[in-house]
Amino acid sequence: MLRQQFSMSRNHLSTQLLFELSRSGRRAVRFPASDTPDKPLTDLIPSDVLAETPPPLPELAEPEVVRHFSNLSTLNMSVDTHFYPLGSCTMKYNPKRNERLASLPGFLELHPYQPEDTIQGLLGLLFELQSMLAEISGLPGVSLQPAAGAHGELAALMVAAAYFRDLGENRTVVLTPDSSHGTNPASAAMAGFDTVTVKSNSQGFVDMGDLAAKLGHNVAVFMITNPNTLGLFDPQVGQIAGLVHELGGLIYLDGANMNAILGKTRPGDFGADMMHFNPHKTFSGPHGGGGPGAGPICVSHRLTPYLPKPVVIKDQGHYRLDFDRPKSIGRVRSFFGNVGVLIRAYAYIRTYGPQGLEDVSENAVLNANYLLSKVRHFLPTPHGDRCMHEFVASASKLKKERGVTAMDLAKRLLDSGFHAPTVYFPLTAPEAMMIEPTETESKDTLDAFAQTLFHVTGETAELLHEAPHTTLISRPDEVQAAKKPRMKWSAQ
Ligand SMILES: Cc1ncc(COP(=O)(O)O)c(C=O)c1O
């Protein structure tokens, strides 16, 4: 009902397509009469490539075009327009300074086929970025090529496969905890491994009994996310690494949650052999709509020969691309990776410096705990009253008592101008709402979000089931929207 009222009051002139707004003869520009003699088109263009009729382009005045695009740009939520507490898939705020730096003509106008001598500045930057990521991760071998976190996972698992092939060992299994991000088992399958799930215990950590039962000489890699997707740092990680290493396996650290531990601890120091970074979650790179992103990987000494090639090296004061890597798995991305994202990550790391990065993590953890301390008074937080960079609240009590689900709450938040948290992930928490505020949000924003969420939990089930009421599209079939997206407009 409320939704109907809203759609009746919406001015559809602002949301119709240019084709729908088109009126024959309307123009944004009228050209002056030509002062050179007209020539028939057929004199200029061979008639067999000339269209028989002009293309059906929309005809509009300039204000209509400007309003159309300006309005379109406001239909979606973004990190520049709204608080975006999307746990796990977080994109932290992108400082505009880094955007400007990445757009400097010296970077923007480079061509990847330029000779190395003419791109020494960029190669130097990438070389330094490799060194900085090695220092932050505690793992010395770095490839900047992967184009997203999931792509980094795949590349690193291909590195692991090449390493075991070289050793002559036939290891077929990758273990992933049941709280892991879906990309972990998917990457393992794509790299040719069988995936086996390891259970979590009641505290949300790896169940050591289940791990022991599944660990064997056939295990190539144990993939662990630490802090994990429940926002908890698994203190058993060193012990787990010991057990896996004893049997000749490797530890992969899904570094998506490095924003919680920068400068506090290093994956290489707690037993990881390889990892990826998600610059969009840690170093303020952009990563909208599936890319372009970056997912640099870092590996230990023994895995370094297998990294994708080329890597950037410094040779007698000269930076160059090293292709002479006979054990490399080869390229996983054209040219040098998504350089624009890597430049932003470089600028971010250099701006903060070692102490600043540590402060980033402290503030990210502080913000998440502040929000947790507010939310837990009205939504249960099944994994305790402390977290790292994110936490999971559960709507299962509301569902049992009033039929209100995590999806209802998430959708209703959109009406108040807050992006929804991640819902129904991790799978181990019922009616999960995963909330990650990041370090850049003010106390005012966190208070406003907590207050709105509290208000929403008290609203009627009828109102919540139909939410959102103020958006153009309410509840699309998300599976169909992802699997069979309608990518073009057609008149019906
Ligand atoms: C824990 C975890 N692992 C892996 C990924 C995959 O990263 P990407 O989206 O860059 O492919 C994400 C998403 O950000 C994540 O949260």
What's the rounded Cα separation, in Å, for the pair 171 and 80? 46
Q: How far apart are the first and last CA of the chain?
A: 26
Strands (E), 199-288: 219-225, 250-255, 274-277
How many separate helices (H) and strands (E) can be counted in the chain? 18, 12
22-44 mean pLDDT: 92
Length of the chain: 492
313-324 mean pLDDT: 96
Per-residue model confidence (pLDDT) at position 491: 63
- Bridge partners of 253? 224, 275
362-372 mean pLDDT: 98
What's the rounded Cα separation, in Å, for the pair 144 and 217? 31
Evaluate if residue 59 carries a pLDDT over 90: yes
Give the CA count within 13 Å in the CB-facing half-sphere of 327: 15
Q: 87 CA distance to ligand 1 centroid (A)?
A: 10
12-25 mean pLDDT: 86
Q: Do 394 and 289 contact (CB within 8 A), yes or no? A: no
Evaluate if residue 2 carries a pLDDT over 80: no
Per-residue model confidence (pLDDT) at position 435: 97
pLDDT digits (tens, 9 = 90+) for 115-151: 999 999 999 999 999 999 999 999 999 999 999 999 9
Per-residue model confidence (pLDDT) at position 468: 96
- Counting residues of the chain whose pLDDT is more than 70, the rounded percentage is 97
What's the rounded Cα separation, in Å, for the pair 463 and 242? 52
Is the CB of 176 inside a 6 Å radius of any atom of ligand 1?
no
What's the rounded Cα separation, in Å, for the pair 308 and 311? 7
**Residue whose entry in the numeric block shows the structure tokens 């609240």:** 393
Name the residue of 225, 274, 278, 342 whose CB sits within 8 Å of the most ligand 1 atoms, as the mutation to test its pocket: 278
State pTM to two decimals: 0.91
Per-residue model confidence (pLDDT) at position 111: 94
What ranges do the domains of the chain cover?
Answer: 96-351, 360-472
Per-residue model confidence (pLDDT) at position 488: 80
pLDDT digits (tens, 9 = 90+) for 152-200: 999 999 999 999 999 999 999 999 999 999 999 999 999 999 999 999 9
Is the CB of 148 inside a 6 Å radius of any atom of ligand 1?
yes
Q: How far is CA 361 from the centre of its chain?
A: 18
What's the rounded Cα separation, in Å, for the pair 207 and 110? 50
DSSP 473: S
Evaluate if residue 265 carries a pLDDT over 90: yes
Name the residue of 79, 84, 86, 88 whose CB sits within 8 Å of the most ligand 1 atoms, as the mutation to test its pocket: 88
Pairing mode, if any, of strands 250-255 and 274-277?
A: parallel
Pairing mode, if any, of strands 219-225 and 194-198?
A: unpaired
Pairing mode, if any, of strands 194-198 and 173-177?
A: parallel
Per-residue model confidence (pLDDT) at position 9: 65
Is the CB of 282 inside a 6 Å radius of any atom of ligand 1?
no
SS3 at position 373? helix
pLDDT digits (tens, 9 = 90+) for 474-492: 898 889 988 998 888 776 5
Q: How far is CA 26 from CA 23, 30, 53, 64, 348, in A?
A: 6, 10, 19, 10, 47
Per-residue model confidence (pLDDT) at position 485: 87
Lowest-pLDDT range of 56-70, 116-130, 244-258, 306-320 = 56-70
What's the rounded Cα separation, in Å, for the pair 329 and 54? 50
Indicate the pLDDT class of residue 13, thresholds 50, 70 and 90: confident
The H or E element that residue 195 is part of is: strand 194-198
Nearest alpha carbon, ligand 1 atom 9 = 149
300-322 mean pLDDT: 97
Is the CB of 87 inside a 6 Å radius of any atom of ligand 1?
no
Q: Which CATH number fits domain 360-472: 3.40.640.10, 3.90.1150.10, 3.30.300.30, 3.30.56.10?
A: 3.90.1150.10
Per-residue model confidence (pLDDT) at position 251: 98
Q: Do 317 and 311 contact (CB within 8 A), yes or no? A: no
5-33 mean pLDDT: 83
Indicate the pLDDT class of residue 99, thresholds 50, 70 and 90: very high
Is the CB of 310 inside a 6 Å radius of any atom of ligand 1?
no
Per-residue model confidence (pLDDT) at position 492: 55
Q: How far is CA 481 from the centre of its chain?
A: 19
pLDDT digits (tens, 9 = 90+) for 463-477: 999 999 998 888 988
Cis peptide upstream of residue 112 (ω within 30 degrees of 0): no
Q: 488 CA distance to ligand 1 centroid (A)?
A: 28
Torsion angle of the four alpha carbons 458, 366, 237, 134, in this order, in degrees rounded to the nearest 10: 130
Q: Do 153 and 276 contact (CB within 8 A), yes or no? A: yes
Evaluate if residue 290 carries a pLDDT over 60: no
Is the CB of 293 inside a 6 Å radius of any atom of ligand 1?
yes
Per-residue model confidence (pLDDT) at position 281: 94
Evaluate if residue 325 carries a pLDDT over 90: yes
| Residue, of 489 and 356, whose pLDDT is higher | 356
Number of the ligand 1 atom closest to the C-alpha atom of 281: 14
Evaluate if residue 16 carries a pLDDT over 90: no
Determine the Cα angle at 486 with ends 93 and 56, to 5°: 105
Q: Tokens at residue 79, please?
A: 């990190």
Lowest-pLDDT range of 19-33, 128-142, 312-326 = 19-33
Q: Do 193 and 250 contact (CB within 8 A), yes or no? A: no
What's the rounded Cα separation, in Å, for the pair 426 and 406? 13
Q: Do 206 and 234 contact (CB within 8 A), yes or no? A: yes
Is the CB of 154 inside a 6 Å radius of any atom of ligand 1?
no
Number of the ligand 1 atom closest to the C-alpha atom of 229: 1
What's the rounded Cα separation, in Å, for the pair 52 and 68? 30
Evaluate if residue 396 carries a pLDDT over 80: yes
Per-residue model confidence (pLDDT) at position 15: 76
pLDDT digits (tens, 9 = 90+) for 427-456: 889 999 999 999 999 999 999 999 999 999
Is the CB of 422 inside a 6 Å radius of any atom of ligand 1?
no
What's the rounded Cα separation, in Å, for the pair 19 and 346? 43
The residues, ordered by sequence, that sit 6+ positions from 70 with a Cβ below 8 Å of its Cβ are none
For the chain, state the CA radius of gyration: 26
Evaluate if residue 363 carries a pLDDT over 80: yes
Enter the CATH code of domain 96-351: 3.40.640.10
Nearest alpha carbon, ligand 1 atom 13 = 89
Per-residue model confidence (pLDDT) at position 289: 58
Indicate the pLDDT class of residue 78, thresholds 50, 70 and 90: confident
Q: Tokens at residue 335, please?
A: 């040219």
